[in-house]
Amino acid sequence: DTEVTQTPKHLVMGMTNKKSLKCEQHMGHRAMYWYKQKAKKPPELMFVYSYEKLSINESVPSRFSPECPNSSLLNLHLHALQPEDSALYLCASSQVRENEQYFGPGTRLTVT
Protein backbone atom coordinates (compact mmCIF):
# COMPACT_ATOMS: atom_id res chain seq x y z
CA ASP A 1 0.00 0.00 0.00
CA THR A 2 1.70 3.19 -1.19
CA GLU A 3 -1.22 5.50 -0.68
CA VAL A 4 -1.98 8.44 1.55
CA THR A 5 -5.71 8.96 1.97
CA GLN A 6 -7.45 12.13 3.07
CA THR A 7 -11.03 12.80 4.06
CA PRO A 8 -13.15 14.62 3.25
CA LYS A 9 -12.29 15.54 -0.34
CA HIS A 10 -14.27 18.76 -0.11
CA LEU A 11 -15.39 20.74 2.92
CA VAL A 12 -17.44 23.92 3.18
CA MET A 13 -17.61 25.46 6.64
CA GLY A 14 -18.74 28.67 8.25
CA MET A 15 -16.46 30.85 10.33
CA THR A 16 -18.02 29.62 13.59
CA ASN A 17 -17.86 25.90 12.77
CA LYS A 18 -15.52 23.28 14.14
CA LYS A 19 -14.39 20.59 11.72
CA SER A 20 -11.52 18.13 11.32
CA LEU A 21 -9.47 16.94 8.36
CA LYS A 22 -8.15 13.40 8.46
CA CYS A 23 -5.12 11.75 6.87
CA GLU A 24 -4.10 8.10 6.96
CA GLN A 25 -1.16 6.06 5.65
CA HIS A 26 -0.14 2.43 6.14
CA MET A 27 3.37 2.56 4.69
CA GLY A 28 5.05 2.55 8.11
CA HIS A 29 6.17 6.14 7.65
CA ARG A 30 7.01 7.90 10.91
CA ALA A 31 7.00 11.46 9.53
CA MET A 32 3.74 13.14 8.52
CA TYR A 33 3.13 16.63 7.22
CA TRP A 34 0.36 19.15 6.69
CA TYR A 35 0.72 21.62 3.81
CA LYS A 36 -1.59 24.45 2.70
CA GLN A 37 -1.78 25.27 -1.00
CA LYS A 38 -3.55 28.26 -2.50
CA ALA A 39 -4.47 28.32 -6.19
CA LYS A 40 -1.45 28.60 -8.49
CA LYS A 41 0.93 28.67 -5.52
CA PRO A 42 3.31 26.01 -4.20
CA PRO A 43 2.51 23.98 -1.08
CA GLU A 44 3.41 25.80 2.15
CA LEU A 45 4.48 23.70 5.09
CA MET A 46 2.29 24.01 8.19
CA PHE A 47 3.22 21.20 10.57
CA VAL A 48 5.55 18.22 10.77
CA TYR A 49 5.18 15.22 13.07
CA SER A 50 8.07 12.83 13.66
CA TYR A 51 7.41 9.68 15.67
CA GLU A 52 3.99 11.07 16.59
CA LYS A 53 5.53 14.20 18.14
CA LEU A 54 5.09 17.69 16.72
CA SER A 55 8.53 18.69 15.49
CA ILE A 56 7.78 21.74 13.36
CA ASN A 57 5.06 24.38 13.55
CA GLU A 58 5.62 26.98 10.86
CA SER A 59 4.01 29.82 12.84
CA VAL A 60 0.53 28.58 12.01
CA PRO A 61 -2.39 30.40 13.74
CA SER A 62 -3.93 28.56 16.68
CA ARG A 63 -7.24 28.16 14.83
CA PHE A 64 -5.43 25.20 13.18
CA SER A 65 -4.68 22.44 15.68
CA PRO A 66 -2.87 19.29 14.55
CA GLU A 67 -3.08 15.93 16.23
CA CYS A 68 -1.27 12.65 15.62
CA PRO A 69 -3.14 9.94 17.58
CA ASN A 70 -0.95 7.11 16.25
CA SER A 71 1.71 6.43 13.64
CA SER A 72 -0.84 5.99 10.82
CA LEU A 73 -3.18 8.90 11.45
CA LEU A 74 -2.86 12.66 11.30
CA ASN A 75 -5.70 15.06 11.99
CA LEU A 76 -6.06 18.80 11.53
CA HIS A 77 -8.73 20.37 13.74
CA LEU A 78 -10.23 23.60 12.45
CA HIS A 79 -12.01 26.24 14.52
CA ALA A 80 -13.06 29.82 13.84
CA LEU A 81 -11.44 29.91 10.41
CA GLN A 82 -11.34 32.94 8.14
CA PRO A 83 -12.32 33.08 4.45
CA GLU A 84 -8.63 33.51 3.57
CA ASP A 85 -8.02 30.03 5.00
CA SER A 86 -9.84 28.57 1.98
CA ALA A 87 -7.27 26.39 0.20
CA LEU A 88 -6.24 22.85 -0.66
CA TYR A 89 -4.87 21.12 2.44
CA LEU A 90 -2.37 18.41 1.60
CA CYS A 91 -1.13 15.66 3.86
CA ALA A 92 2.14 13.88 3.13
CA SER A 93 4.22 11.17 4.75
CA SER A 94 7.76 9.86 4.52
CA GLN A 95 10.33 7.90 6.41
CA VAL A 96 11.90 10.31 8.90
CA ARG A 97 15.23 10.59 7.10
CA GLU A 98 14.12 9.51 3.64
CA ASN A 99 13.94 11.50 0.46
CA GLU A 100 10.52 11.02 -1.02
CA GLN A 101 7.33 12.43 0.44
CA TYR A 102 4.08 10.78 -0.61
CA PHE A 103 1.19 13.20 -0.89
CA GLY A 104 -2.48 12.54 -0.35
CA PRO A 105 -5.09 13.91 -2.79
CA GLY A 106 -5.90 16.82 -0.49
CA THR A 107 -9.01 18.33 1.07
CA ARG A 108 -10.38 21.37 -0.70
CA LEU A 109 -11.62 23.66 2.05
CA THR A 110 -13.94 26.62 1.53
CA VAL A 111 -14.65 28.93 4.45
CA THR A 112 -17.78 31.05 4.03
48 part of the interface to other proteins, by CB under 8 A: yes
With vertex at residue 78, the alpha carbon angle to CA 16 and CA 43, rounded to the nearest 5 degrees, is 130
12 part of the interface to other proteins, by CB under 8 A: no
Q: Report the distance separating Cα 75 and Cα 69, nearest Å.
A: 8
SS3 assignment, position 84: helix
104 part of the interface to other proteins, by CB under 8 A: yes
Q: Report the distance separating Cα 69 and Cα 10, nearest Å.
A: 23
Nearer to other proteins, 84 or 100 (CB): 100
Contacts (CB under 8 A) with other proteins, residues 53-72: 53, 55-56
Q: Where on the chain is the footprint of other proteins (CB under 8 A)? A: 31, 33, 40-45, 48, 50-51, 53, 55-56, 88, 90, 96-97, 99-106
